[in-house]
Structure 1
């Protein structure tokens, strides 16, 4: 199952590229690279939306 792309996640969370990178390196959002595109785990993004970050 594919997740959200970077642009979609940044729009949903309203965060900067640096904050998104921090969330990923901190293990709060899992990522998967398919080809040259990074996909962010949908469940992780939804969890952050409901709990805040």
Structure 2
């Protein structure tokens, strides 16, 4: 997140063009982030994860 100073790597993605994208986001949702345990693709879950990890 730019405003909070958290380091991240942005990867451009176009839904449906990468055959491995469904491994990361089964419903093809974007945004999607990779965590140490799994991928998250629901915006609410992503925000909750970031808040919990970087209060």
Identify the structure with the greater helix proportion.
1
Same fold (TM over 0.5): no
TM-score computed with the length of structure 2 as normaliser = 0.29
Identify the structure with the greater strand proportion.
1
TM-score computed with the length of structure 1 as normaliser = 0.30
Determine which structure has more spread, i.e. the larger CA radius of gyration. 2
